[in-house]
């Protein structure tokens, strides 16, 4: 959202931001890129469920919308925060603008709960900003209206850093998907540690997510450099240098396109198939060893970025104006 926030600020459009408070330390990683939020909901508590998140956000966010009476709520992506906030805005008769609209796997279990979240938001959003033509096509198929193809704002953010690209003997790892918790993640960790031992000339770097379901598997990774989560600019600088990426993240698939890096996607399916078609992403789920050389032997990727040219925020605000 930071490119959109900058664009609103640049054009003198009044706005306020709400931070729900999930993983405060992850907000600290981007605090230099966005203004201090006007509202902190501070909903985080240990081992909270999706239902806990829903109930914690609902009451407080409804009060904010009633007191502020905004003309529009802008949400981005497919988190539970996005789905709940959009629903509350719908109930309060506040129009919703959805950034990154139209991503689909059409499998409600993968990713869970994100696939359900984004499908629900599409039903109630007044503005649907699709990052790609495929995303727009999927929205049209669902009879969703008011669609604008914009590219993805994450490319705007990457372009803003302008880091030089190299392919050092480093492998970046990011893993946090809810549907991978438990046995799948154990297998992924075990295969990564096996590879880190075999390919000792490569440094496997893992900025580990704070979720306890990820943290509890830390002892498996004896040959991996586990570090604390990085600030966003530091993370993008690291991405610009590594040889390739192993991840179950959605956003990093787009960031890999911006930096010309291949990514082994530890999932059964992806709502970003454009990366598969372009040749820099490969679905591997828990079979890292089997597909490792696809990325290791020829890590460089060059081609037209399927996620846009880095002007998505401008297109989004142009469509609103």
Q: Is the pLDDT of residue 64 over 90?
A: yes
Equal CATH topology for 2-159+309-320 and 168-296: yes
At a CB cut-off of 8 Å and minimum separation 6, what does 255 contact?
Answer: 154, 158, 236, 239
Q: What is the pLDDT of residues 283-317, one digit of tens each?
A: 999 999 999 999 999 999 998 999 999 999 999 99
Annotated catalytic residue: which of 52, 178, 277, 318?
A: 178
Distances (CA, A) of 257 to 47, 118, 155, 222, 262: 34, 23, 9, 30, 8
Annotated catalytic residue: which of 29, 78, 156, 254?
A: 78
Instruction: Provide the residue ranges of all domains of the chain, joining segments of one domain with +.
Output: 2-159+309-320, 168-296
Q: Is the pLDDT of residue 25 over 80?
A: no
Report which DSSP code applies to 189.
H
Q: What is the pLDDT of residues 233-291, one digit of tens each?
A: 899 999 999 999 999 998 999 999 999 999 999 999 999 999 999 999 999 999 999 99
Superfamily of domain 2-159+309-320: Glycogen Phosphorylase B; (3.40.50.2000)
Pick the closest to residue 168 from 248, 258, 241, 271 (CA basis): 241
Annotated catalytic residue: which of 114, 191, 255, 274?
A: 114
Annotated catalytic residue: which of 100, 115, 156, 179?
A: 100
100 counts as catalytic: yes
Annotated catalytic residue: which of 23, 176, 186, 193?
A: 176
78 counts as catalytic: yes
Token reading at 287: 């079979």
User: Which residues, listed in sequence order, are joined to residue 282 by a DSSP beta bridge?
Assistant: 264
3-state secondary structure of 92: coil
23 counts as catalytic: no
114 counts as catalytic: yes
Topology, domain 168-296: Rossmann fold (3.40.50)
Annotated catalytic residue: which of 6, 23, 209, 291?
A: 209
98 counts as catalytic: no
25 counts as catalytic: no
């Amino acid at each position: 959202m930071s490119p959109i926030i900058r664009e609103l600020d640049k054009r003198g459009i009044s706005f306020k931001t709400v931070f729900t408070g999930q993983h405060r330390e992850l907000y600290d990683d981007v605090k230099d890129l966005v203004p201090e939020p006007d509202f902190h909901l501070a909903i985080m508590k240990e081992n909270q469920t999706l239902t806990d998140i829903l109930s914690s956000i609902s009451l407080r966010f409804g009060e904010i919308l009633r007191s502020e009476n905004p003309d529009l709520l802008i949400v981005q992506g497919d988190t539970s925060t996005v789905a709940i906030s959009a629903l509350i805005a719908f109930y309060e008769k506040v129009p919703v603008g959805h950034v990154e609209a139209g991503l689909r796997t059409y499998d409600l279990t993968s990713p869970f709960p994100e696939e359900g979240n984004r499908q629900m938001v599409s039903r109630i959003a007044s503005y649907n900003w699709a990052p790609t033509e495929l995303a727009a096509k999927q929205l049209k198929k669902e009879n969703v209206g008011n669609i604008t193809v914009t590219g993805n704002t994450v490319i705007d953010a990457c372009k803003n850093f302008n880091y030089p690209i190299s392919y050092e003997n480093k492998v970046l790892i990011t893993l946090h998907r809810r549907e991978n918790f438990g046995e799948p993640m154990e297998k992924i960790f075990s295969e990564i540690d096996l590879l880190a031992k075999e390919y000792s000339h490569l440094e496997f770097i893992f900025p580990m997510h704070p979720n306890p379901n990820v943290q509890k598997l830390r002892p498996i990774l004896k040959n991996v450099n586990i570090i604390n989560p990085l600030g966003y600019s530091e993370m993008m600088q690291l991405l610009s240098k590594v040889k390739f990426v192993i991840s179950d993240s959605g956003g990093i698939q787009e960031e890999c396109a911006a930096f010309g890096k291949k990514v082994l996607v530890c999932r059964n399916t992806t709502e970003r198939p454009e990366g598969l078609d372009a040749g820099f992403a490969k679905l591997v789920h828990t079979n890292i060893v089997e597909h490792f050389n696809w990325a290791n032997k020829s890590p460089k990727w060059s081609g037209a970025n399927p996620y846009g040219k880095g002007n998505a925020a401008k297109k989004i605000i142009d469509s609103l104006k």
